Amino acid sequence: MQQNIDSKKMLIVVEGNIGAGKSTFLRILKENLNLDIIYEPTDRWQNIGENGNLLDLFYKDTKRWAYTFQSFVFITRVEAIIENLKKYNAKGTQILERSVYSDRFCFAKNCYESGTMTALEWQIYKDWFKWLVEGYTQKPDGFIYLRTDPKVCFDRMVKRDRSEEKAVPLNYLELLHKKHEDWLVNKTEIIDYIKDVPVLPLDCNPEFEIDVNRQKHLIETVAQFIDKLKQDNNIIPAKSNQVQI
């Protein structure tokens, strides 16, 4: 049973490590809440021209492709945001799968700190980031953080068996986990512009793909979070959400 919690446009971002459960979580949101889902444009990264799979190239030779991949991911993500803002201009709650901020503060930053992106490339990336974010993106109203242990993420990644991810080691997920924690939980080394954006951390270590009770708990928590954001922004009056799945 879908519950209508829309009244005016809001942008909420679902963030999390590789294998955190984003695809399953977004499917559950779409089935149970009246929300517009903006998915990662992964098909753009996997199909460039006739034979270009940039995601695969990045994982196979990270040092060679880090700057190219992270820049293209960032640009395509901004494009997706702009297109969907036009599409849903009037009203609605939009849920965005990852954001330019996780690109900047987790993935690209990790490339620089691990030595696969040079200092010059990192500076160019940050300059592009500042210009595009300030001019072409909407500040999120909230973040939903799927907080998942790296080993759990790794096991899920292995289970889903995507060809591009076969070369991804556990320690890479551990580095990304620390970056997500620093950004979304500790809020260190991030721009002031998004420090005040509310974050809803969700424990996604327990399997929730087929656990109906766990799904219901997650949906109710998200619905309450969205209602609180709308109340704080004077979008809707206070009310109670009852979600049935």
Query: Catalytic residue positions?
Result: 97
Closest by CA position to 153, among listed 118, 177, 134: 177
Nearest-angstrom CA–CA distance, 18 and 54: 17
Cβ of 93: how many Cβ atoms within 10 Å? 25
**Cross-strand partners of 143:** 13, 199
Q: How far is CA 76 from the centre of its chain?
A: 14
| 3-class DSSP assignment, residue 8 | coil
Nearest-angstrom CA–CA distance, 80 and 84: 6
Residue in the block written with tokens 């996780």:
102
Q: Which two tokens stand for residue 215?
A: 């799904």
Closest by CA position to 117, among listed 74, 65, 73: 65
Nearest-angstrom CA–CA distance, 32 and 110: 35
Which amino acid belongs to residue 17?
Answer: N
